[in-house]
Chains A and B, each alone.
Chain A
Amino acid sequence: MSRIAPVLALLLIAVAVAAVGCTAKQPSPPPAAGPASAGGPPGQVTLTVWDWHAADPSKGVGLWLANIDKTFEAAHPGLKINHVAQSHTEYYEILKTAAAAADPQRGPDVVMLHQGSRVLDQRQSLVPLDKYVTPETRKEIVGWELVSDDYDATRTPWAVPIAVQGLVWYYNKALLREVGLDPEKPPAKWGEFLAACDALRKAGKAGIAVGEKEGFWADWFLNSAYLQTCSAEDRPRLRSGEMKWTDPSLVAVLVRLQELADRNCFQKGALSTPLFPDAGEVFMRGDAGFFLGLISDVAHWKEFGDMMGAEKVGVMTCPVFQESPDASKFPVGGAFTYAITKWSLHPSEAFQYIAFIAGDENARTFLTEVGSFPANQSFDHSLIADPNAQKIAQWLAAGRTGPQLGDMLPAAIGEAFRREAQSMLAGTTTVAGALEAVEKAAQESRRRGE
Chain B
Amino acid sequence: MRARRSATLHAALFLAPAVLLLLIFRVVPAVSALTHAFTTWDGVGAARYVGLENFRGLLADPIFRQALRNNLLLVLSVPLWIAVSLVLALLLHNEIPGWRFFRGSFFLPSVLSPVIVGTLFTALLRADGPVSRGLGAVGVPVPEQGWLGDPATALPTLVLVILWSIFGLGVIVFLAGLAAVPQELFDAARVDGATGLAHLWYVVIPALRHVIEFWSVNLVVWSFTSLFAFIYVMTAGGPGYATMLVEYQIYEQAFKFNRMGYGCALATALLLLVFGLVLVQVRLMTTDEDGA
**A and B from one assembly?**
yes
Q: Which chain A residues have a beta carbon within 8 Å of chain B's beta carbons?
A: 1, 4, 7-8, 11, 14-15, 18, 22, 92-93, 96, 99-100, 121, 124-125, 212-215, 268-273, 410-412, 415, 419-420, 422-423, 425-426, 428-429, 437, 440, 444, 448, 450
B183 interfacial contact with A, CB 8 Å: no
B45 interfacial contact with A, CB 8 Å: yes
The minimal Cβ–Cβ distance linking A51 to chain B, given in whole angstroms, is 19
- Report chain A residues within 8 Å CB of B128: 268-269
* B24 and A18 within 8 A (CB): yes
* B43 and A96 within 8 A (CB): yes
* B144 and A269 within 8 A (CB): yes
Among B13, B148, B240, B256, contact of A272 (Cβ-Cβ < 8 Å):
B148
A-B contact pairs, 13 of them (CB 8 A): A8-B9, A14-B20, A124-B42, A213-B149, A270-B145, A272-B146, A415-B257, A422-B240, A423-B151, A423-B239, A426-B151, A426-B239, A428-B151
**Given A96-B258, A422-B240, CB of A8 within 8 Å of CB of B146:** no
* A411 and B258 within 8 A (CB): yes
**Given A422-B238, A422-B239, A422-B240, CB of A124 within 8 Å of CB of B146:** no
B241 interfacial contact with A, CB 8 Å: yes
Give Cα A53 to B43, complex, Å.
Answer: 26
The minimal Cβ–Cβ distance linking A256 to chain B, given in whole angstroms, is 20
**Given A125-B44, A426-B240, A429-B240, CB of A1 within 8 Å of CB of B148:** no
Give Cα A22 to B20, complex, Å.
Answer: 12
The minimal Cβ–Cβ distance linking A218 to chain B, given in whole angstroms, is 11
Which B residue's beta carbon lies closest to that of A441?
A: B63
Which A residue's beta carbon lies closest to that of B257?
A: A412
- Residues in B241-279 with C-beta less than 8 Å from chain A: 241-242, 252, 255-259
* A15 and B20 within 8 A (CB): yes
* B24 and A22 within 8 A (CB): yes
* B236 and A423 within 8 A (CB): no
* B145 and A271 within 8 A (CB): yes
Among A18, A22, A121, A268, contact of B258 (Cβ-Cβ < 8 Å):
A121
* B257 and A215 within 8 A (CB): no
Which A residue's beta carbon lies closest to that of B125?
A: A272
- Report chain A residues within 8 Å CB of B24: 18, 22
User: Number of contacting residues on B, CB 8 A?
Assistant: 42
Which 4 A/B pairs are nearest by Cβ-Cβ distance? Answer: A269-B127, A272-B149, A423-B240, A272-B146
B94 interfacial contact with A, CB 8 Å: no
The minimal Cβ–Cβ distance linking B56 to chain A, given in whole angstroms, is 12
Which A residue's beta carbon lies closest to that of B232?
A: A89
Among B20, B62, B150, B257, contact of A271 (Cβ-Cβ < 8 Å):
B150
**Given A269-B144, A272-B126, A423-B241, CB of A11 within 8 Å of CB of B256:** no
Give Cα A93 to B257, complex, Å.
Answer: 10
* A96 and B127 within 8 A (CB): no
The minimal Cβ–Cβ distance linking A412 to chain B, given in whole angstroms, is 4
Which B residue's beta carbon lies closest to that of A445?
A: B257
B83 interfacial contact with A, CB 8 Å: no
* A268 and B259 within 8 A (CB): no
B28 interfacial contact with A, CB 8 Å: yes
Give Cα A136 to B146, complex, Å.
Answer: 53
Among A22, A425, A437, A450, contact of B28 (Cβ-Cβ < 8 Å):
A22
Give Cα A268 to B129, complex, Å.
Answer: 11
The minimal Cβ–Cβ distance linking B12 to chain A, given in whole angstroms, is 9
- Report chain A residues within 8 Å CB of B135: none
Which A residue's beta carbon lies closest to that of B43?
A: A96
B287 interfacial contact with A, CB 8 Å: no
- Report chain A residues within 8 Å CB of B42: 124
- Residues in B203-252 with C-beta less than 8 Å from chain A: 236-242, 252
- Report chain B residues within 8 Å CB of A273: 126-127, 146, 149
Give Cα A23 to B26, complex, Å.
Answer: 15
* B145 and A18 within 8 A (CB): no
Give Cα A18 to B19, complex, Å.
Answer: 13
Which B residue's beta carbon lies closest to that of A434?
A: B240
* B238 and A268 within 8 A (CB): no
Which B residue's beta carbon lies closest to that of A121?
A: B258
* A4 and B126 within 8 A (CB): no
The minimal Cβ–Cβ distance linking B11 to chain A, given in whole angstroms, is 11
The minimal Cβ–Cβ distance linking B44 to chain A, given in whole angstroms, is 5
* A92 and B256 within 8 A (CB): yes
- Report chain B residues within 8 Å CB of A125: 44
Q: Interface centre among A213, A273, A411, A428, by most B CB within 10 Å?
A: A213
B16 interfacial contact with A, CB 8 Å: yes
**Given A18-B24, A124-B45, A412-B257, CB of A4 within 8 Å of CB of B240:** no
* B127 and A268 within 8 A (CB): yes
* B9 and A4 within 8 A (CB): yes
Among A214, A410, A422, A437, contact of B257 (Cβ-Cβ < 8 Å):
A410
